[in-house]
Structure 1
Amino acid sequence: MAASLLGHCIFGLRRQAGTAKHATDPGTPIEPGSTTANLGQAASRSLPFWPTSPRVQRAAKIWGHGLRVESMPLDTWCDRVLPDAARDGLVIGINWSGPRLVGWSLTPKEVLNRLAVAN
């Protein structure tokens, strides 16, 4: 990970223990408590993340139902989460916004390539 991105955090959502799923829930967990979103019949499942706490808090309010904001260091996300998502065939939802939470979904490799170029 290039030095200019070290120390940065990425934010995601986690379902609180014991919280039931609802019709507006973004998806089924890929591991205990984590959240994915279904992109339709022909599309992959997406694991959404946001660059700031206020943005992910808005997403938690839209999806609601027991989701809470969690953060992790960007280097941990790149070294652990992205390889796991690639292995599981997931794409990464980046900075989804608006009332329907829409935005870019990229493969983990595309995310890593874009981060490398950003440095």
Structure 2
Amino acid sequence: MRAICPKPGTDDLCLLAFVNGQRAGHFPVTRWREVADWADLFAMRHKVEVKILPVTGREYLGFHNLRWQDLQGVGNPSVPDLLFALNNLRELANDPDPVQARRAARLLAKAEAQAYSESRS
């Protein structure tokens, strides 16, 4: 079997991995090449179907049955989800594409400032 791994678009923020239709994990979009290579190898070795799906932030929320409005004022996101989001933004802030890097740096600064202010209250 072979993996399906379309290249991410400019608005995609993360990659969702599926093995035989079951969600298997998520990765930062900056690791697309590495994840695509892994998916090809895993599919061949284990004779399974692997799909790597690049998704936007809105689509990622949709997979969790959430809307952006639902997150406004949420004080305690799960630690793994928060760390994933922050690490993804940190990687994107170092992207060679200056537009992508600036966008990620702005979001990262906003997220870190909010986390800091919430930790002080």
**TM-score under structure 2 normalisation?**
0.38
Whichever structure has more strand as a proportion of its residues is: 1
**TM-score under structure 1 normalisation?**
0.39
